[in-house]
Structure 1
């Protein structure tokens, strides 16, 4: 069952629920108005009306409520909601009780590696107590190697939430040379944030002093940025209504936290996103398609490596080519080769097709064209 079908069914349930809720609210308000009108009539005629008159008003109210027939009006929308909800529930049960064992390879996992991945993920998420407990119970003391650096990262990020850049600036100063080699502008951006913070909350003189000490060294390479900040000094008392009001935007802080996280993880030679989270997200998107493919193979075990999944650009980290003939990933020793007909195969596949005879033409595995090895060209990804 495709995810789009489940989303459509959910939208139908939501629409029916809103219609039912709206109808209930409408009837409640209608009944409320009739009751209020009856009470108002009884109160206004309390001194002059006889008990029989009051009884007549109540009888009229009873007749009007019977005419409204709330149960009859609610029966239709509620029935439609129940039908839609029942279909949605059955669809979910059918979708999530599938035998997913047909969509993956039965391979042995290295328990030690899995434990390291799980521990690293817990520390990445800031769950240090849970991570420590997991490392202890799994008897994997080596899996705690990521604890100290990620603890430092979270301490820096927590300080930034309260507009305290001191821990971040200390880390940048300690790793200044490596940041410069990577072409990072993190130090300048942190000093820029600090300069604006001082200008907004302290005094113009203190901001100028800070700029001379920490922004002046960047003037040679970032003159426009430094000039902009120095000009902002003229608007110290009304920076929020000045042409430089965008310097106060909170988005600068969120972007800085994200950039610092990226740089910090680069220093650890790790991705800024948890590999486990990315893997699970990719699996969730790819599982419906794999299950569908496995059903088309008539009960045969599906080899997931033979399926080309299109998961979206957010899951594309670098160029990869998989030869559809050998099912192998291209590499420096086995590069992709484009044939004269436009199709692409790996070099080792081409060697097998020619039986290691470079002068012998061979037939393209995809079309009837005969290809000569000398006319094939290597592709660089």
Structure 2
């Protein structure tokens, strides 16, 4: 009785430990909406500063100038209209901030709702979140939206954030850098702090497109205005790109030919994604990849599956019994196991001194608990689940004896 009580007490404790470890992986889950919230606040603050500065400047001009009564009234009326416009913008900004704060609250509540009793349901929700994250990163936006709606997890995923990225990515794929440059301008201080090269690379590409169109005068003017400020930190790249004015778009010189290739746009898309993920505190790899790699590296051992793991003999619960997962696990390190562990094929529970392994006459090993339960249901007979052979309980041998 005492042992049973101890076992029942240890199971919740074990689940709680697993839950605690699991929650440590939810950094991105909270970071993304928080970063979005901060970005909204900064944008609203910039709007207020800009508009108020303009209004104060306008009032000062009116006070210093010798305006007629009608001109003064018109001038002040325009300032009032501007302030009314600012009020509308602030109301919209306030609503946006409220929505972002609410999303942060919902996610905190979701994490707090996790406990040992509802782990199955909570993990199912997390799996859906991870799948939505993967779909959004792979540009399957419509599918991601449908999965989020079907699972009722719209507030737990970052569809709105990825929609922002989608506009830029679509534009870059259509060879348009304007939205990407606008995004850089909106996040200039943070990109500068992280020493991002995104804006510089976008400017280079815009210069290359002018050279491709053989519009050299515009290209030179563009370089003076937008590329020259980068000279102190990126002189070599600038020199290389400026040389395209002489080599032209149809050059066969590999050093410059590559600058005109379409894959440069793919490079810009990848670079934007990296900067976007860093800005919002996201992992560079999709979450599903990280979880799969972690799981596979924990399971991967030097055991040669290709030799010993046959279709009828290998447990289907082991992902590495499948060729596709073995291929995925190839670059991963082996699991570091100091001690071997035996897991029962039937119950999937650990076999140890309290639940010792038993050997059947055909050589297969199962836990004592599994065989006893099977014998109770079959009048003392044990059926090997792998071969179908039937044995008596007296035929089993305890390995630890």
Question: What TM bracket, shorter-length normalisation?
Answer: 0.3 to 0.5
TM-score by length of 2: 0.44
Bigger radius of gyration, 1 or 2?
A: 1
What TM-score do you get using the length of structure 1 for normalisation?
0.46
